[in-house]
Amino acid sequence: MKKYGQFIYTISEWIMKLAWIHLLWIIFTFTGLIFIGFLPSTVALYSITRKWIQGKTDFPVFQTYWQIYKKEFFRANQLLLAIVPLTALTAADILFLTQSTTMTAVHIPVLVSISFFILFFLYLIPAFVHFDVPFIQLLKNAFLIMLISPLHDLLLFVSITSLAVIYWYLPGIPFFFGTSLLAWINVWIVLHAFNRVLQKKKSAA
């Protein structure tokens, strides 16, 4: 009975934590007037999530979130400027698809490019919070690890798609946990890919 009570307490605590950092993401994104607040807030969210996944839970969430947001504000927005061309191209591709009524061979490369960019972005943000390297090296790390991790790519695709379906049919969940659940799944899978590459490097050395 004691173990069951402890289990319920732990689950409740994590539910509150995930809801709290989702709320913080919203607050700090709007603090930066959405456009310039989006990526710094996302970086803070992913940094907190990474700490939790690594077993580091004994720290004040709000203060840590705020410190990361301030520290990475300009660097995160520099990254945003670097990926604006890719983002604009992807947005144009999505617009093209939404205006088409039938599927043709032309749509295949468009779908591939959209999927490729989304996948790259899902590696890029975890790489940003994991590697302390210059921008060019950061982009290379995210891109190369994505290319050599097909199983992790597939797991990301299946997991994020499944989460999107859950969000669609249960809209109350994204209202409270929209970004935090996404970040948890994203960071957990991609950190595993990073660690796998690191282990291979150590074995080869």
Per-residue pLDDT of 56-75, as tens digits, reads: 999 999 999 999 999 999 99
pLDDT of residue 176: 96
For the chain, the structural domain boundaries read 2-204
Pair 135, 145: CB distance under 8 Å: no
The phi-psi region of residue 34 (left if phi > 0; otherwise alpha if psi is between -120 and 50; otherwise beta) is left
1 — pLDDT class (breaks 50, 70, 90): low
pLDDT of residue 94: 67
Indicate if the pLDDT at residue 96 is higher than 90. Answer: no
pLDDT of residue 47: 98
Please tell me whether residue 43 adopts helix, strand or coil conformation: helix
User: What sign has the CA pseudo-torsion 158, 152, 111, 177?
Assistant: positive
Pair 179, 156: CB distance under 8 Å: no
**Token pair of 179 as six digits:** 């970004």
Indicate if the pLDDT at residue 93 is higher than 70. Answer: no
The phi-psi region of residue 102 (left if phi > 0; otherwise alpha if psi is between -120 and 50; otherwise beta) is beta
pLDDT of residue 97: 64
User: What percent of the chain clears pLDDT 70, i.e. is strictly above it?
Assistant: 91
